[in-house]
Chain A
Amino acid sequence: MGSITLEHVNKSFGEVEIIPDISLEIKDGEFVVFVGPSGCGKSTLLRLIAGLEDTSSGHIKLDGEDVTGAPPARRGLAMVFQSYALYPHMSVRDNIAFPLKMAKTPQAIIDQKVDYAARTLNLGSYLDRRPRALSGGQRQRVAIGRAIVREPKAFLFDEPLSNLDAALRVNMRLEITELHQQLKTTMIYVTHDQVEAMTMADRIVVLNAGNVEQFGSPLELYKKPANRFVAGFIGSPKMNFVDGPEAEKHKAHAIGVRPEHFTLSTTAGAGQWAGTVNVAEQLGSDTFLHVEVEGLGLMTVRTDGDQTFSHGDKVYLTPDANRIYRFDAAGLAL
């Protein structure tokens, strides 16, 4: 069991208000990702849930029980840190066993659980090593191992993959997702990488300056962003925004078009907007064109990787009429 409820949680450090007022309901077994730009308060929110910081006001409930004032040790949550935070003076085995020792678990059960965790995470051959003798990916697995043995109500991850190289990051992403499917325990995962957010989450919380901009499933956020911030943050490459007369044609203050929602033509006049290719980023599978559109500015356009473009090529763009996002003056979606 592990449902987590935040009620009007507020957090200030001294005079500075970091989180004005957040209410959230995370269901048992859900995989929730907190995303947002750097400094928006993701880690702070996670630490509030963990009990490593206390709220300035508001309540945090675990399975309906108010734990606002409870110390981390009593909350029954497990956390995986960005720095892994392994105990350098203990072997991998002792690292994983530490929470069980703290809970005064009998040695036989400790051994059994450590073995299970080691098998699950492929750590068998490293159990007697010190953390310093492990690679980054192995260390992260140990940190996860340490978290799973105590069978927590929920897992909290704070950018666990950001110190790993790109290939390993993709692997670990899959492993964590599989782990979630296997354990079915609530997980809260903080990242600023929106690809991680989209691929892993059941639901995503988009944070900005300590406020929840939107809370919904990945596709909901992609298809129905609540406002301009979410629209710009979710999706890669970023959505193109246009305001002024062009937006007024759609009865909006601003409109947004995702790079993948253009029809592209090289035939003169065969498109709504004419532009010149500035840079073409060819990834093989796709090509991202940065097009200087007359009167509207720079736009990113995604096309398949078969056509080649070069600097100065004339192109004609037509936004997909059904997929134009409209925003009012306050940035809210219309």
Chain B
Amino acid sequence: MATRQTRTLARTMMAPAVIVLLIWMAVPLGMTIWFSFQNYSLINPMMTGFAGWGNYEYVIGDPSFTQALLNTLLLVGGVLLITVIGGTFLALLLDQPVWGQGILRILVISPFFVMPPVAALIWKNGFMHPGYGMLGHLYEALGLEPVDWFAQYPLFSVIVIVAWQWLPFATLILLTALQSLSEEQREAAEMDGANAVNRFRYIILPHMARAITIVILIQTIFLLGIFAEIRVTTGGGPGYASTNIAFLVFRTGILSNDIGAGSAGGVVAVIIANIVAIFLMRAVGKNLDA
């Protein structure tokens, strides 16, 4: 298909999308990079001029950065671990013949549709609050001392909330992948005398490997940017105990009005995301040919 005329038209029709995204990607990113080399503070207008690597040294040199980087890794890694393992288990379970499959799916998928601040607030007040949260009641009923989750285990608490939100996503995608494994393939394996464990090991798991990769990559993209859950629960604290890179940039740039340093943090965040992105693009790109 496609004559020269169609191709010209096609280029014209694609132009708005391409131009808009190009601007969206290039202009602010260019500005961030520019700012990151400037002395620029909204509080202190006297601070101007070229900063060289100063902002980077300031941001990366600060202990808060190391902590935020570590927190980011723990947050992403922890959530991935919970959602991938939990999601695989749940997908296998939901794929079994059970009564009420439709309703089950709805129950399981629901947390994904809860907006992040709501999810965070429900968990913070309804469950993790030491006084009247459900977990507090549960601990008391068991004769234990209620835990003040956000004070004692701030990062872990955030991980729990985020994992709760993303578990449905992992489950749904893995379930979809599982269901595309044809019945014949499974029956053939059964005929070949494979037991349940071997069927999982040699048939189901390899089939799901790609879906798992995709879950990991896509979640990583979103998890690197976790923000609202931290903002409404711990505010990044106590200290920097639950501050990730995204939140650190927000704290430095917007809350402390240090544009230069905030931008340097932003550039670092972009670099980290790009490393993940390269892998994701490979995985998705391969699929484009199929």
Give the interface SS of chain A, mostly helix, strand, loop or mixed.
loop
B3 on interface, CB distance cutoff 8 Å: yes
Q: Which residue of A lies closest to B7 (CB)?
A: A54
Residues of chain A contacted by B3 (CB below 8 angstroms):
51-54, 71
Q: Which residue of B lies closest to A48 (CB)?
A: B3
Give the interface SS of chain B, mostly helix, strand, loop or mixed.
loop
Instruction: State the Cβ distance, B271 to closest chain A Cβ, in Å.
Output: 38
Residues of chain B contacted by A52 (CB below 8 angstroms):
1, 3
Q: Which residue of A lies closest to B9 (CB)?
A: A71
Instruction: State the Cβ distance, B6 to closest chain A Cβ, in Å.
Output: 8
B96 on interface, CB distance cutoff 8 Å: no
Number of chain B interface residues as a range: under 10
Q: Which residue of B lies closest to A53 (CB)?
A: B3
Instruction: State the Cβ distance, A258 to closest chain B Cβ, in Å.
Output: 41
Residues of chain A contacted by B2 (CB below 8 angstroms):
53
State the CA gap A54–B1 with chains docked (Å): 9
User: Restricting to A50-64, which residues have a CB under 8 Å from any CB of B?
Assistant: 51-54
Residues of chain A contacted by B4 (CB below 8 angstroms):
54
State the CA gap A69–B3 with chains docked (Å): 9
User: Restricting to B1-39, which residues have a CB under 8 Å from any CB of A?
Assistant: 1-5
Residues of chain B contacted by A69 (CB below 8 angstroms):
5
State the CA gap A71–B4 with chains docked (Å): 10
Binary contact track A63-77/B, C-beta < 8 Å → 1, others 0: 000000101000000
Instruction: State the Cβ distance, B283 to closest chain A Cβ, in Å.
Output: 28
Instruction: State the Cβ distance, B2 to closest chain A Cβ, in Å.
Output: 8
Q: Which residue of A lies closest to B4 (CB)?
A: A54
Q: Could you say which of B1, B2, B3 has the most chain A C-beta atoms within 10 Å of its C-beta?
A: B3
Residues of chain B contacted by A53 (CB below 8 angstroms):
1-3
Determine whether the beta carbon of A71 is less than 8 Å from that of B5: yes
Q: Which residue of A lies closest to B2 (CB)?
A: A53
Which of B's residues lie within 8 Å of A, judged by CB?
1-5
9 further A-B contacts with Cβ under 8 Å, apart from A51-B3, A53-B1, A71-B3, are: A52-B1, A52-B3, A53-B2, A53-B3, A54-B3, A54-B4, A54-B5, A69-B5, A71-B5
Give the 5 A-B CB pairs with smallest separation, nearest first: A54-B3, A54-B4, A71-B5, A53-B3, A52-B1
